[in-house]
Structure 1
Amino acid sequence: MTTTPNTTGPFRSRRSPLLQPTFARLWCATTASGLATWAMPFILGLAVLHGSLTAVGLGLVLATRTAGFLVAVPLGGLLADRYSRRSVVLWSGLAAAIATPVLAAGLGTSVTLMAVAAAVVGVGQGACRPAFQALTAEVVAPDDRQQANAALTFSVRGVTFLAPGLTALLATVTGPQTLLLITAGLWLAAALLPRAGTAAPSPRPARAPFHVEFVEGLTEARRHTWFLAGLGALTVVIALGYSSTSVLLPLASGDHYGTEAVLAGALTAYTGGALIGALLVSRWKPRAQGWWALFGLGLYALAPLSLVFPVGAVWVFAAYAIVGLGVELFNVPWFTAAQREVAPDKLARVSSLDFLFAYGFAPVGLALIAPAAQAFGPQNVLLACAALCVLAPALAALAPGARDFRTRRA
């Protein structure tokens, strides 16, 4: 691979990938899918307030969507490496688009129908994730991928920031069923907008049984020691750090400060820090980028630490802003390195492992944090989670290739 010399230090001035029509369409598609994904829980929450769905029904519907997502992520990776990535995005987006009106039809009439439809939506959401990741590597030149990934993650953070407000605003003029139909339109856009890369596609190897191809993906992941170490650190941070703050931040907001405003302010600060981080890392390419990325991941320890004692709302907001910035300092180089180092015909399968572990263990952490806090005390749990959020990335930094997220070739 030939790279352009860096003549301006770690910051490069390049033509934005968003000015390239193929990537711009892909960016719009991922943004649409993200908006549909994040809007659905808020819309169903509004349905609970309107009385057309019970809280138990809401939990069941969201649980089946998560189950569908987790089942479809590895399957989507297999299909995206076996067939066209563009086709996998198309069919997964269409599945979610078709199932969403069924979900709307079941609202107020059949929770079972809603649960089945939500599972199909989750399947579409899960199958498209590794396909989008692999398709990005197909449509963007290697030197532009970091900036492209920064643009993609910027849209994700923007969606998490805007989706609740947009949903609440639209809810003033229409009902939950209509809002769900709007998300069906977003899934349709996600399915139809992307285009395949202009370069010749990578040659597909002879097809093997699905379990054999899955093992091939595991073997490829094992070849990159830095990837396994980083994935382990990421899993620990999400399963413990993210879960502990998700469960205990509302409690700390009420117990320490007596208001839910701290909860809202912390989440807003996190998103703002992540947006700044995405902008920063779109241009910044330091030496030892892997170590910098793992350092950014380790900054998540500040979130649980800020909740241990009532240090003041401003310090909580500052900690969450730094945490958001650090997460993007990790995410963008992480995705870019996988697209660079992993064999192109196995990229979707390896990416599916990333999403599967990162999201798959989060429900386990969410389920265990509350009982642990009751048994050992919230402060002890937060301190333990903060320590592990530092320790896991520090150990990952010792892995071969972790310094630059590069695999040493024989």
Structure 2
Amino acid sequence: MTEKATAPSVLKNVAFLRLWTGTTASGLAMWALPFVLGLAVLERSITAVELGVVLATRTVGFLVVVPVAGVLADRHSRRNVVFWSCLTGAVMTPVIALGMGRSLVLMAAAAAIVGAGQAGCRPAFQAMVAEVVPESQRQQANAATTLAIRVTTLAAPSLTALAALLVDARALLIITAALWLAAAFVLPQGTRAPDRTTAQASFAADFLEGLNEARRHPWLLSGLGALTAMVAFGYSATAVLLPVVSRDRYDTEAVLAAATTAYTLGALAGAALIGRWRPKTPGWAALAGLACYGLVPLALLLPVHWFVLIAVYVVAGVGIELFNVPWFTAVQREVEPGKLARVSSLDFLLSFGLAPVGLAFIAPAIDHFGAGVVLGACAVICFAAPAAAALVPSSRGFTRSS
């Protein structure tokens, strides 16, 4: 049985709409950058090697700065942190364009700073939802935000390709800079007063304080562990092996495109569903949704019809948003407001930070053990990690009182 939402629509909240617009604009700029640089390769403005270096340095910039960003967003006005982070992206993105064909070092340095700007935004955006949205509307708000992110993921390649018919990659980078600029200026004022008492503490001490806050919530640590395992093993293995299976088993790249699109469409459906659905045991329902991703490596392992593989990707997409939205909502509700950005930065650091590590180990593991063994092991991990997290008593409702 479930309970129906009775809260008024979050879309009537002007402050949230401004926050949502800023999140969407920055997300579109973030997701468009790899496709714009890919077009630059096709234009021969940069090489494939240079593309890899630039994207890698952007990731490094993100991972290095995200712990600091959480501390800054808890110490200072979160709106100001987002403003300066977005402004950084707006200023440095054209520098990437300036370096095309001239200096790989300049491009890589600019990309690292853009990644740092992205890192500055993420924890502050999450914490600002708790500032401008009442608790009764936060699940709607997080669902609306993730809907925007998924639409952005789906639309960014197409919009970039269409724009490329009119302008070159350098001009497209200027357009993404304009998106960063729009995100910087559209944000609402937050309601939380900055915590001046922590200004004298070191960044390490402040981050450790956020870590201690996370440790106060056993469901959070177990859920974060399950999410990290799924991203590091499930996402990494399927990202490497889906193109191989598409080519070797189905003899067409169309299955690769269809599967990735199906995942995004499933996520859109999942976000729309969880925006209104209130499970009686939200934590267990969320972890069950997370476990759905285990079906993907199984479908890649077994000789299933391509239609089954596509359907599995839809189910996995639905499941990931059945996890994400209640997860973000619970973090915003349960974590002490003054430490929310630091806990969110820990979330991003582990769940996304270990993804490159997983990718680095998957290819050697496939060479040593074989694709079948790797897919089977990753499927077991994707099922077992959420199941283990569900054994923590407080995971039932993603609250210490459950």
Q: TM-score, normalised by structure 1?
A: 0.96
364, 372, 381: which is aligned to 2:365? 372
Contact in 1 for aligned 2:75/2:195 (Cα 8 Å): no
Task: State the 1:407 CA deviation.
Answer: 1.6
Letter in 1 for 2:193: P
Which deviates the most, 16-25 or 249-258?
Answer: 16-25
Residue 213 of structure 1 pairs with residue 206 of structure 2 = yes
Distance change in 2, residues 1:105/1:203 (3 Å):
closer
Letter in 1 for 2:21: C
Q: Which runs of 5+ in 2 are unaligned?
A: none
After superposition, give the CA deviation of every residue in 1:26-82 in whole Å (9 maximum; x if it has no partner).
Answer: 101000111111100011011111111011111110010000000111111000000
Contact in 2 for aligned 1:257/1:310 (Cα 8 Å): no
Task: State the 1:9 CA deviation.
Answer: 5.0
In 2: Cα distance, 1:338 partner to 1:200 partner: 17
In 2: Cα distance, 1:280 partner to 1:286 partner: 11
Letter in 2 for 1:47: A
In 2: Cα distance, 1:307 partner to 1:352 partner: 33
Q: Which residue of 1 aligns with 2:344?
A: 351
297, 307, 314: which is aligned to 2:307? 314
Contact in 2 for aligned 1:204/1:345 (Cα 8 Å): no
Distance change in 2, residues 1:51/1:203 (3 Å):
closer
In 1: Cα distance, 2:399 partner to 2:6 partner: 24
Q: Which residue of 2 aligns with 1:201?
A: 193
Contact in 2 for aligned 1:25/1:194 (Cα 8 Å): yes
Q: Which residue of 2 aligns with 1:4?
A: none
In 2: Cα distance, 1:12 partner to 1:142 partner: 12
Q: Which residue of 1 aligns with 2:81?
A: 88
What secondary structure is seen at the aligned counterpart in 2 of 1:371? helix
Q: Which residue of 2 aligns with 1:327?
A: 320
Task: State the 1:14 CA deviation.
Answer: 3.2
219, 225, 233: which is aligned to 2:218? 225
Q: Which residue of 2 aligns with 1:3?
A: none
Task: State the 1:190 CA deviation.
Answer: 1.2
Task: State the 1:204 CA deviation.
Answer: 4.9
Letter in 1 for 2:370: G
Distance change in 2, residues 1:201/1:231 (3 Å):
same
Task: State the 1:188 CA deviation.
Answer: 0.6
What secondary structure is seen at the aligned counterpart in 2 of 1:285? strand
Q: Which residue of 2 aligns with 1:168?
A: 161
In 2: Cα distance, 1:223 partner to 1:43 partner: 43
In 1: Cα distance, 2:87 partner to 2:194 partner: 25
Q: Which residue of 2 aligns with 1:256?
A: 249
After superposition, give the CA deviation of every residue in 1:151-207 in whole Å (9 maximum; x if it has no partner).
Answer: 00000100000000000011111100000000000001111111123x453755343
62, 68, 78: which is aligned to 1:75? 68
Q: Which residue of 1 aligns with 2:56?
A: 63
After superposition, give the CA deviation of every residue in 1:269-315 in whole Å (9 maximum; x if it has no partner).
Answer: 10010000000000111111100000000000011111113311100
Contact in 1 for aligned 2:131/2:192 (Cα 8 Å): no
Which deviates the most, 240-249 or 14-23?
Answer: 14-23
After superposition, give the CA deviation of every residue in 1:343-387 in whole Å (9 maximum; x if it has no partner).
Answer: 000000000000000111000111111111111111111111001
Q: Which residue of 1 aligns with 2:116?
A: 123
Task: State the 1:240 CA deviation.
Answer: 0.2
Sequence identity (%): 59
Q: Which residue of 1 aligns with 2:181?
A: 188
Task: State the 1:24 CA deviation.
Answer: 0.4
Q: Which residue of 2 aligns with 1:111?
A: 104
After superposition, give the CA deviation of every residue in 1:220-264 in whole Å (9 maximum; x if it has no partner).
Answer: 010000000000000000000000000000000001000000000
Task: State the 1:21 CA deviation.
Answer: 1.1
What secondary structure is seen at the aligned counterpart in 2 of 1:86? helix
CA RMSD of aligned residues (A): 1.3
After superposition, give the CA deviation of every residue in 1:294-346 in whole Å (9 maximum; x if it has no partner).
Answer: 00000000111111133111001100000000000000000000000000000
Task: State the 1:19 CA deviation.
Answer: 2.0
Q: Which residue of 1 aligns with 2:126?
A: 133
Distance change in 2, residues 1:204/1:150 (3 Å):
farther
Aligned residue runs from structure 1 range 286-297, under 5 A: 286-297=279-290
In 2: Cα distance, 1:246 partner to 1:108 partner: 30
Which deviates the most, 400-409 or 82-91?
Answer: 400-409
Contact in 2 for aligned 1:13/1:283 (Cα 8 Å): no
Q: Which residue of 2 aligns with 1:401?
A: 394
What secondary structure is seen at the aligned counterpart in 1 of 2:4? coil
> Aligned pairs, how many?
401
Contact in 2 for aligned 1:10/1:283 (Cα 8 Å): no
The structure 1 segments of at least 4 consecutive aligned residues displaced by more than 4 Å after TM superposition are none
In 1: Cα distance, 2:307 partner to 2:244 partner: 17
Q: Which runs of 5+ in 1 are unaligned?
A: 1-7
Letter in 1 for 2:237: S
In 1: Cα distance, 2:295 partner to 2:353 partner: 23
What secondary structure is seen at the aligned counterpart in 2 of 1:159? helix
